[in-house]
Amino acid sequence: MDIDNRRRRAKFRAWHRGMKEMDLLLGKYADAHVAAMSAEELDAFEVLLEILDRDLFKWFTGEGPVPADQDTPLFRAICRFHEIDLP
Closest alpha carbon to 85 in 59, 49, 52: 59
SS3 for the chain, per residue?
A: CCHHHHHHHHHHHHHCCCCHHHHHHHHHHHHHHHHHCCHHHHHHHHHHHCCCHHHHHHHHHCCCCCCHHHCCHHHHHHHHHCCCCCC
pLDDT digits (tens, 9 = 90+) for 26-73: 999 999 999 999 999 999 999 999 999 999 999 999 999 999 999 999
Q: What is the mean pLDDT of residues 11-28?
A: 96
* Residue 86, domain member (yes or no): no
What CATH code is carried by the domain that includes residue 32?
1.10.150.250
pLDDT of residue 9 exceeding 90 = yes
pTM to 2 decimals?
A: 0.92
Residue 19 domain boundaries: 3-81
* Residue 7, domain member (yes or no): yes
Q: With bands split at pLDDT 50, 70 and 90, how would you rate the model's confidence at 87?
A: low
* Residue 22, domain member (yes or no): yes
Domain count across the chain: 1
* Residue 87, domain member (yes or no): no
Say what the pLDDT of residue 20 is: 96
